[in-house]
Structure 1
Amino acid sequence: MSRIDESLPFIPLRIAVLTVSDTRGLEDDRSGDTLVGCLTEAGHVLADRRILPDEREAIAAQLRAWCEDPQVDAVITTGGTGLTGRDVTVEAHRDVYEKEIEAFGVIFAMISFRKIGTSAVQSRACAGVARGTYLFALPGSPGACRDGWDEILSLQLDYRHRPCNFVEIMPRLEEHLRRK
């Protein structure tokens, strides 16, 4: 089973948070607040925080901008992962991905199923990598954000997590771009 190797140093990541909502502002963004609290309590750094409406091109543009920013290691979005006509976060993410991390959505669904039963089938949580930056899309509820953080991201974004984690492979995410 997975574990934290306390003999290794913790490496803080710079993480940006994007809330996708047509109705929320910073004053009532409970899901964004949840993610910011989780990542800072874990010792990571909040690199940036934004709220954007459910507009595919705007979401993709913000994701690309953060992928180009050397001060951002990872991005977590919340909202827009459902099935309604305005839910376009997943499509925006996939517009940006170089590689998708398919198991992220599967594991998130397994976690959700334990908590909300078959309603978990409505979530389209996803993750991928672009320009050496991790991109994670979580549903728009604080509970889903807490579940995604506590049961997946807190471990995979911790260099000390064994047997493996996302942090240890970060230096190799763009190795295909190096000249031979």
Structure 2
Amino acid sequence: MSRIDESRDFLPVRIAVLTVSDTRSTSDDRSGDTLVDRLTEAGHSLAAREIVRDERDAIAAILRRWCADDAIDVVISTGGTGLTGRDVTVEAHRDVYEKEIHAFGTIFTIVSMNKIGTSAVQSRATAGVAGGTYLFALPGSPSACRDAWDEILAAQLDYRHRPCNFVEIFPRLSEHQRRK
């Protein structure tokens, strides 16, 4: 069963938060605020934060820029994961991924199902890796951001979490690039 191994030191992770919205601004970005509060309370650092409109190319450009930034380990986006015509965050993420973390969406759906029932079927939360950076796309509601952080990301972004976590394999995420 999962647990925190107190014999290991906590390693802070540098996390960027991207809000995808046609209507939000920094004054009313509750989902972005929720993520920033959660990650800083956990001891991680906010590496960057932006708001971008629901435009596939613009989202992908920011993701690529942040993946190329050595000061960013993880990108969490919020918004644009639904089913409407303007919801293009998942497609933008997949344009950038080198590898998709398929189980993230499955686990997020399970967590959501326990909270909101069958409405969880409407979420397309996703995750992947690109350029040695983890990328997570979450729905745009503060409750979905809380659920994803509290139930999945808090543990997986904690080096002390056992039996395994995302942090301990950071050094190996880009090993294929070193072989070239």
Unaligned 5+ runs, structure 2: none
Whole-Å separation in 1 of the counterparts to 2:125 and 2:178? 31
Cα deviation code 1:18-68 (max 9, x no counterpart): 000000000000000000000000000000000000000000000000000
After superposition, residues 21-60 of structure 1 pair within 5 angstroms as: 21-60=21-60
Q: Distance in 1 between matches of 2:77 and 2:176?
A: 26
Quote the Cα distance in structure 2 between the aligned partners of 1:62 and 1:175. Answer: 23
Unaligned stretches of 5+ residues in structure 1: none
User: Counterpart amino acid of 1:52?
Assistant: V
Counterparts of 2:97 and 2:128, CA distance in 1: 6
CA–CA distance in structure 2, aligned partners of residues 179 and 65 of structure 1: 23
Percent identical residues: 78
Q: What residue number does 2:149 align with?
A: 149
TM value normalised by structure 2: 0.99
> Residue 61 of structure 2: SS of its match in structure 1?
helix
Aligned residue-pair number: 180
Aligned-partner residue type, residue 55 of structure 2: E
Aligned residue in 2 for 1:107: 107
Q: How big is the shift at 1:179?
A: 2.9
Residues 113-151 of structure 1 deviation map (CA, whole Å, 9 limit, x = unaligned): 001000000000000000000000000000000000000
Can you list the C-alpha shifts for 1:52-103, whole angstroms capped at 9, x where unaligned? 0000000000000000000000000000000000000000000000000000
**TM-score, normalised to structure 1's length?**
0.99
Matching residue of 1:170? 170
Instruction: Tell me what 2:14 maps to.
Output: 14
Q: In 2, Cα distance between the equivalents of 1:169 and 1:97?
A: 17
Give the RMSD, CA atoms, in angstroms: 0.7
Which runs of at least 4 in structure 1 moved beyond 3 Å after TM superposition?
none
